[in-house]
Structure 1
Amino acid sequence: MQNGAHPPQVTQPPTHNMPFAGMGRTTFVYSIDDIHAFLTKVKAAEAINSLVQRCLAYPDPPNSHWSHATVVAYCRYHLQKVISFAEAQKLIQTGHAADLDHQLEQDLQAQLSVPAAPGVLDRTYYNAFDNGSFDVRSTLDAWKRASPSSAFAYAASGMAYVAMASDARGGAYIRDTPQSNIDAMDRLLAQADTDLQRAVALNPKVTPAYVSMIHAGSMSLGDDYTLNAAKRGLAAAPDNYSIYGVLSGAAEPKWGGSLEAMDRVAVQAQAYVKQNPLLAILLSAGPAYKYDVCNCESSANWSAFPVVFDNVASTSLLSNAGFAASENGHPELAVIYLSEVMRFQPGAWGVRRRRDFELPAVGESDMAMEDANRLIAGNPQIAANYRLRGDIYMSLMDYPSAEKDLEHALAMAPDDIEVLSSLGNLYTNQTHEWDKAWDIADRIIRKYPGSPGGWAMRATIVENQPRADLSATYQYFVDHFGNDPIMQWHISRMRELLTKSSQPVPASLTPQHP
């Protein structure tokens, strides 16, 4: 499971906003009429103040067959009020751990019996205790001391240990993970297991404990452990969405499972879909993996996205699909699936900005600008909001306004890679102010030397304004990014330019492909 433990990457903005030779426009998967009809309904929904009514008024993706019952349940799932870690911490630190236990007991009973509170206890635990920071440990340990018979305290502590173990392991494949990381993970999982077993012994209905057990099993504790936890959890709560969801994740091929295993989990869950409509969400998990909607393996089948999302999908799948589409020249997919994330998670600000960034590419510049202005008015201290508006101005070829917003964003966040990339895009590809572009490229290279974006920017500059640095840029590019398929166009172009120039071509540095 990826946890973001990778160095920052300077990525090229989508092709509609940063064209260069050799890149063409992709064919839209959805028709432009379908996109505009969808976004017209989105604008109407986003004008509604009630978050639940806003969620229900949102359109489903074009030509999809989303279950209304599942949409209603998923709106409630995400928008119901749940306790935060800060609120739990305050109760524990002020001697009111018993009040926290009472609140969680109420959530458990609501999860078991109130249709309007789907998965409320599981949602609470994800929100408050799925936290791998060492900073939470003292609070959770204090809770266990204050409430030694609380299944809720032990379940929270165990979940946090599993999150810590995941962070300790890192996001690389196990073969690329240092043994010290694996040892740390195993120690933390042993502590997690102790607390989780204690939790279900105290109260076998506390479902977040089983969710954490299954996660721990898929990480290191093994198939028998995972299946035993799933069996016990589903015996206690046969229609539990979170248990089935994490079991589906554990069945993914990358964790030693298979698409058939994922499908079996989804089919098994559908036996209880009338009791819990959230279970229909699992139907999209297998197809999403099959068609690589996150483009994790660089094999996304863009035309299959409407098939994958014919059923309601989780916000994580929708978000992964939307960002992957944005990064690969499919704005029509990005605006639809990122809008659906915003439907269920209206506070997902990064998702909102990325959706707005893509709107001009589908002919919705006014909608993009209006929302960017709302974001700035709502929070003028966020540099990313000015960067968004600067990017929108750039798409409209209003370069002076774009420069003003992007320079303002850079003043607020001098090392922000997204702001630097947007400003570099403006100076390099739009206004051709080579000295300004060179300064931005130099700042990126100095701050993020392992990322290709600054070097790609420098390559474009020396192509258009010959400098003595072309040979050195080529050498660095081949040495560091020679096996990156995305960089091959730049490498070939620089070699061609070097051949035509008086600068020497480093013959020993020929890109080697895996």
Structure 2
Amino acid sequence: MTSHGRVVLITGLVILGIVGCCWIVSDIAWRTSQATHVAQAQRAGQAARSWPPPRPAFTPDEVRAFLAKVRSAEAIADPLQRCVSYPDPPRSHWSPESAKAYCLYYLQQTITFDEAEKLIEHGQAAELDRRLAQELQAQLTRPDSHGLLDHTYFASFNDGSFDVRETLDAWKRASPSSAFAFAASGSAYVAMASKARGGAYINETPQSNIDAMDRLLQQADTDLQRAAKLDPKVTPTYVAMINAGSMSLGGDYLRRAAQAGLAAAPDNYAIYGTLSGATEPRWGGSLAAMDHMARQAQAYVKQNPLLAILLSAEPAYRYDVCNCRSSADWSMFPTVFDNVSSVSLLSYAGGAASEQNHFDLAAIYLSEVLRFQPGAEGARRQRDVSLPAFGETAMALDDASRLIAADPLPSRNFRARADIYMSMGKVALAEKDLEQALAIDPDDIDVLVPLGDLYANQTYEWDKAWHIADRIIQKYPNSPAGWMTRATIQENQPRAGLADTLQHVVEHFGHDPSMQWQINRMREVLARGPRSAPSFRASKNH
């Protein structure tokens, strides 16, 4: 879509009263993209933490009082009571009705793709249609079921895998008059088109990728148009159409989908959320348009309290929460999250805060993620690592030990508990957990780096540290972490070769601003001769 087309689209959306916010995506899609981003950052050797630690946005007393209420809430067995008993972030003004509606949103039992596949394979497509019709009716008529059908489609028909095509095509053949079948097929085609295009800028995307995207979007449109004719109340149809319009089918297509979708369901959270990206400044919109549209949505907030979540959109974009790595204004996060916010935004903010040693924000916003999604293990691991800063070591260890007991295979659970032990000064227990994690996954850089750092900077087991450094260098040549561990050993054992290490680091990582401190440090050491205190901490740069 051209810039002019975007502006026309934004103007049209404002006139229609359509609202938007910072992209509200399905949590499954977000977790996948976030895991990919983190892995790429680690392999590229980007700095994982800022130094010195940033100034806190909340006082220690505020965080401790918040965590005491979190402990009480997490002891409640009833899922809904647990969620509504959670504290809101300090000094925030979350609507109790919206928080409860969001609790209910994530507590709803949805039909999984596996369940749908089994019904179709056993000749029971009609039963699948019946159950989805029940979900639609509940979404339209029951206050405790806002977004039920939309949530099902986000979770079950939106992963972009070509493996689902056989099942969805069989469903369409078995139920040729089912809007649910064609909406699911169209939604899957849109997700496949997005995957085919890839995540690069359009001028960096091969034409073959764009052609594949366009072909898949045309197939999506055929199914989605049929779904809309069969039953115009099936809201996932419009969500998929809006996504398709924003990709390459154009502003007119998107506008028609928005009009039809909001005519069918004027208080629908998924439709508003999917439209939200069109109002962002980077797509030709403006902060004023984002704020205006979000506030327009509040006309329906009594019918659907989930719409209050959209109020976080403009401040989240303004203060760079969606891309919070280095340019975010951390002090403004309490303003961003003054209203109930999406799990996506809370996860971005809390995860980035954890990476940047902003433990007050991490403890609070990742706890809010766990309020709505207690099974979000990644958020739990990151949250728990921040707890010892506020004296909550028992809570952190209990959480980490439960994760290990429930599933001892993921090495990252042992890694998280090792981080907690290290914060407590229990180096021997941390070493034991890291070695256990390495036995599970010998090539995990998230384990190799802290274990090498522990050997080099805590226990001074130089041969073990050297062996770990070699493994990192061989397995992850684009990461400076192994070279930094090697430099620590060469300075402090001491061991020969620091000049060679410096030369390699300068040649391969000298363009990285985050590496300048380490490079300058190595030069100083070479000029003065070996020192006795550890100086190069690889854990900063894996």
Deviation at 1:338, TM superposition (A): 0.3
Task: Find the counterpart in structure 2 of residue 199 from structure 1.
Answer: 227
Q: Which stretch shifts more, 139-148 or 182-191? A: 182-191
Task: Find the counterpart in structure 1 of residue 83 from structure 2.
Answer: 55
Q: What is the distance in 2 between the residues matched to 1:393 and 1:296?
A: 28
Pairing partner for 1:9 from 41, 59, 64: 41
TM-score (norm 2): 0.87
Q: What is the distance in 2 between the residues matched to 1:364 and 1:294?
A: 29
Native 8 Å contact 1:369 1:392 kept in 2: yes
Task: Give the aligned residue type for 2:93.
Answer: H
Q: What is the distance in 1 between the residues matched to 2:120 and 2:82?
A: 35
Task: Find the counterpart in structure 2 of residue 510 from structure 1.
Answer: none
Measured against aligned partners, the alpha-carbon deviations of 1:404-447 in whole angstroms (never above 9, x if no partner) come to: 11101111111222222221232233223332222222222222
Deviation at 1:152, TM superposition (A): 0.7
Q: What is the distance in 1 between the residues matched to 2:491 and 2:245?
A: 53
SS of the residue corresponding to residue 387 of structure 1 reads: helix
1:401 paired to 2:429:
yes
Task: Give the aligned residue type for 1:247.
Answer: L
Q: Which stretch shifts more, 452-461 or 33-42? A: 452-461
Task: Find the counterpart in structure 1 of residue 451 from structure 2.
Answer: 423
Pairing partner for 1:412 from 424, 440, 451: 440
Q: Which stretch shifts more, 332-341 or 385-394? A: 385-394
Q: What is the distance in 1 between the residues matched to 2:145 and 2:257?
A: 24
1:128 paired to 2:156:
yes
Deviation at 1:75, TM superposition (A): 0.3
Pairing partner for 1:360 from 373, 379, 388: 388
Q: What is the distance in 1 between the residues matched to 2:207 and 2:495?
A: 46
Deviation at 1:467, TM superposition (A): 4.3
Q: What is the distance in 2 between the residues matched to 1:214 and 1:452?
A: 43
Q: What is the distance in 2 between the residues matched to 1:182 and 1:296?
A: 29
Native 8 Å contact 2:47 2:514 kept in 1: no
Task: Find the counterpart in structure 2 of residue 462 from structure 1.
Answer: 490
Higher-RCO chain (CA-CA 8 Å, sequence separation at least 6): 2
Task: Find the counterpart in structure 2 of residue 386 from structure 1.
Answer: 414
Measured against aligned partners, the alpha-carbon deviations of 1:47-73 in whole angstroms (never above 9, x if no partner) come to: 111111110110000010000010010
Native 8 Å contact 1:9 1:451 kept in 2: no
Q: What is the distance in 2 between the residues matched to 1:370 and 1:362?
A: 15
Task: Find the counterpart in structure 2 of residue 46 from structure 1.
Answer: 74
Task: Give the aligned residue type for 1:357.
Answer: V
Task: Find the counterpart in structure 1 of residue 356 from structure 2.
Answer: 328
Q: What is the distance in 2 between the residues matched to 1:58 and 1:194?
A: 45
Q: What is the distance in 1 between the residues matched to 2:281 and 2:463?
A: 49
Task: Find the counterpart in structure 2 of residue 432 from structure 1.
Answer: 460
Task: Give the aligned residue type for 1:186.
Answer: D
Deviation at 1:199, TM superposition (A): 1.2
Deviation at 1:84, TM superposition (A): 0.8
Task: Give the aligned residue type for 2:298.
Answer: Q
Q: What is the distance in 2 between the residues matched to 1:283 and 1:349?
A: 27
**Given the superposition, is the C-alpha separation of residues 187 and 297 from structure 1 closer, same or farther in structure 2, using an over 3 Å criterion?**
farther
Pairing partner for 1:168 from 186, 196, 202: 196
Task: Find the counterpart in structure 1 of residue 6 from structure 2.
Answer: none
Q: What is the distance in 2 between the residues matched to 1:157 and 1:112?
A: 22
SS of the residue corresponding to residue 279 of structure 1 reads: helix
Pairing partner for 2:214 from 172, 186, 201: 186
Q: What is the distance in 2 between the residues matched to 1:162 and 1:97?
A: 22
**Given the superposition, is the C-alpha separation of residues 452 and 184 from structure 1 closer, same or farther in structure 2, using an over 3 Å criterion?**
farther
1:269 paired to 2:297:
yes
Native 8 Å contact 2:325 2:352 kept in 1: no
Measured against aligned partners, the alpha-carbon deviations of 1:207-250 in whole angstroms (never above 9, x if no partner) come to: 11111111122222222222221111111110000111111123
Pairing partner for 2:402 from 364, 369, 374: 374
SS of the residue corresponding to residue 116 of structure 1 reads: helix
1:258 paired to 2:286:
yes
Q: Which stretch shifts more, 427-436 or 38-47? A: 427-436
**Given the superposition, is the C-alpha separation of residues 410 and 12 from structure 1 closer, same or farther in structure 2, using an over 3 Å criterion?**
farther
Deviation at 1:29, TM superposition (A): 0.9
**Given the superposition, is the C-alpha separation of residues 135 and 479 from structure 1 closer, same or farther in structure 2, using an over 3 Å criterion?**
farther
Deviation at 1:499, TM superposition (A): 4.8
Task: Give the aligned residue type for 1:61.
Answer: P
Deviation at 1:202, TM superposition (A): 1.2
Measured against aligned partners, the alpha-carbon deviations of 1:448-504 in whole angstroms (never above 9, x if no partner) come to: 2223333343344434345444344334433443333322222322343445569xx
Task: Find the counterpart in structure 2 of residue 286 from structure 1.
Answer: 314
Pairing partner for 1:68 from 77, 80, 96: 96
* Runs of 5+ unmatched residues, structure 1: 16-22, 503-514
Task: Give the aligned residue type for 1:68.
Answer: P
Q: What is the distance in 2 between the residues matched to 1:42 and 1:453?
A: 36
Pairing partner for 2:106 from 75, 78, 89: 78
Q: What is the distance in 2 between the residues matched to 1:116 and 1:465?
A: 64
TM-score (norm 1): 0.91
Task: Find the counterpart in structure 2 of residue 218 from structure 1.
Answer: 246
Task: Find the counterpart in structure 2 of residue 111 from structure 1.
Answer: 139
Q: What is the distance in 2 between the residues matched to 1:467 and 1:189?
A: 60
Task: Find the counterpart in structure 1 of residue 186 from structure 2.
Answer: 158
* Runs of 5+ unmatched residues, structure 2: 1-22, 24-29, 531-542
SS of the residue corresponding to residue 271 of structure 1 reads: helix
SS of the residue corresponding to residue 83 of structure 1 reads: coil
Q: What is the distance in 2 between the residues matched to 1:426 and 1:242?
A: 47
**Given the superposition, is the C-alpha separation of residues 177 and 496 from structure 1 closer, same or farther in structure 2, using an over 3 Å criterion?**
farther
RMSD (CA atoms): 2.1
**Given the superposition, is the C-alpha separation of residues 458 and 181 from structure 1 closer, same or farther in structure 2, using an over 3 Å criterion?**
farther
Q: What is the distance in 1 between the residues matched to 2:524 and 2:456?
A: 20
Pairing partner for 2:263 from 222, 232, 235: 235
Q: What is the distance in 1 between the residues matched to 2:380 and 2:188?
A: 29
Task: Give the aligned residue type for 2:62.
Answer: D
Q: What is the distance in 1 between the residues matched to 2:459 and 2:347?
A: 33
Task: Find the counterpart in structure 2 of residue 506 from structure 1.
Answer: none
**Given the superposition, is the C-alpha separation of residues 458 and 145 from structure 1 closer, same or farther in structure 2, using an over 3 Å criterion?**
farther
Native 8 Å contact 1:32 1:362 kept in 2: yes
1:477 paired to 2:505:
yes
1:28 paired to 2:78:
no
Native 8 Å contact 2:53 2:356 kept in 1: no
Native 8 Å contact 2:290 2:314 kept in 1: yes
Deviation at 1:371, TM superposition (A): 1.4
Native 8 Å contact 1:247 1:265 kept in 2: no
1:344 paired to 2:372:
yes
Task: Give the aligned residue type for 1:153.
Answer: A
Measured against aligned partners, the alpha-carbon deviations of 1:358-404 in whole angstroms (never above 9, x if no partner) come to: 11123221211121122222223332221111111111111111111
